[in-house]
C-alpha cells in the first residue's frame, strides 16, 4: 500500500498567489516525521520543511508552511506569495520511527507534484 500519496500530478498558480500542495500519508507508527522537498529541473533535492508527529504547531519556514492535520493524516504544503523560481517538482516524504528530534530512518516519498508558476 502506498504510504505517501500526492494526488495532484500538476498544479498551476499565478505569481504572487498562494498555492497548496496536497499530501496524505498512512502509518500505524505513532512517531513519524513528514518532509517536503523541492526538485528543480536541475535535479537537486532541496529540503523545505519538517513536521514531527508530536509537534503541536504547524511548521513554518519563510514562505513555506505545513498544514498538518493528524486525524486526517494529511500534511499539505502551503507556499505563499508564489515566485517564478518556485516552479519545480515537489515531493512529500515520511520517516517512520521518529523519536523526539533524533532519528536515523529512511524516507519514503510520494509521487511528486509539478508546480508551474505563471507570470
| Residues within the interface to another protein (CB under 8 A) | 33, 35, 37, 43-47, 50, 52, 91, 95, 98, 101-112
Closest CB to another protein among 106 and 119? 106
Choose between 48 and 79: whose C-beta lies nearer to another protein: 48
Give which of 62, 113, 65, 85 is closest to 16, Cα–Cα: 85
> Cβ neighbours of residue 114 under 8 Å, at least 6 residues apart?
9, 10, 11, 88, 89, 90
Least CB distance to another protein at residue 60 (A): 15
Nearer to another protein (CB atom), residue 18 or residue 113: 113
Q: Which residues pair with 67 in a beta bridge?
A: 76
Instruction: Please state, in angstroms and rounded to a whole number, the distance separating the CA atoms of residues 44 and 42.
Output: 6
Q: How far is the CB of 72 from another protein (least distance, A)?
A: 22
19 contact partners, CB below 8 Å, separation of at least 6: 11, 13, 78, 79, 82, 115
User: Smallest gap, in angstroms, from Cβ of residue 76 to another protein?
Assistant: 18
Residue 15 CB, nearest approach to another protein (Å): 27
Q: Which is nearer to another protein, 64 or 109 (CB)?
A: 109
Amino acid at each position: 500500500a502506498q504510504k505517501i500519496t500526492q494526488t495532484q500530478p500538476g498544479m498551476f498558480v499565478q505569481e504572487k498567489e498562494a498555492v497548496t500542495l496536497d499530501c496524505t500519508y498512512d502509518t500505524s507508527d505513532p512517531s513519524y516525521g513528514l518532509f517536503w522537498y523541492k526538485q528543480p529541473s536541475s535535479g537537486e533535492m532541496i529540503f523545505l520543511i519538517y513536521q514531527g508527529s508530536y509537534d503541536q504547531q504547524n511548521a513554518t519556514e519563510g514562505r513555506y508552511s505545513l498544514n498538518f492535520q493528524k486525524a486526517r493524516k494529511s500534511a499539505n504544503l502551503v507556499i505563499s506569495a508564489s515566485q517564478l523560481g518556485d516552479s519545480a517538482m515537489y515531493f512529500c516524504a515520511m520517516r517512520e520511527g521518529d523519536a523526539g528530534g533524533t532519528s536515523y530512518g529512511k524516507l519514503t516519498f510520494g509521487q511528486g507534484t509539478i508546480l508551474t508558476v505563471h507570470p
